[in-house]
Amino acid sequence: MKLVFATNNLNKLKEVQALLPDHIQLLGLSEIGCTEDIPETSDTIEGNAIQKAEYVKKHYGYDCFADDTGLEVKILNGDPGVYSARYAGETKDAQANMDKLLENLKDKNNREAQFKTVISLKIGEKLDTFTGICSGTITSEKKGKQGFGYDPIFLPDGYEKTFAELALSEKNLISHRARAIKKLIEFLSS
């Protein structure tokens, strides 16, 4: 089976390729000639995932899946949420995003958070969605060099290391994206 993963994020592509079985051939956006920024104008994580999958299917004709991920911090009413990538501005600077979040949590005791990934799968005219959640807390300082985004400040429940301190193989066992991908794979295999 050939599927497009609607992302230009090479880190995400690498993570997902490591999770998929061999019978699913994964193509990135660059491989289908999609160089434009796909609109993400929904006010929900689910809405953005659906919007991206439908865009690829409509404009390029490929069966496709897309994801959208947000970091939701309980005491900040779910922020940064759908705006996680642009939390500190349109430049999508991961360091600035982490710095802003740490500043906003500076005097807060409750640092509960969750990563939420929604995958939207568009095959033919059929649309399905799959959600993965990883609960944890936001640390007070950045730790680790692995991963991307908020990984250096996210401590998953039950672990003493941030996502950025875990090997990719460890992260792929528990991450929000891995959980959503697992549901996608189960669906594609049934």
Catalogue the active-site residues.
Answer: 68
**Looking up tokens 């990538």, which residue turns up?**
85
Q: Which amino acid is at 57?
A: K
Show the DSSP H helices in the chain as ranges: 10-19, 45-60, 94-104, 168-174, 176-189
Contact 138, 110 (CB under 8 A): no
Phi, psi at 34, each rounded to 5°: -90, 105
Question: Nearest Cα to 84, choosing from 162, 9, 167, 16?
Answer: 9
Give dist(CA 150, CA 84) in Å, integer: 9
Question: Which residues lie below 8 Å from residue 6, measured CB to CB, with a gap of 6+?
Answer: 29, 34, 38, 52, 53, 55, 56, 64, 65, 66, 67
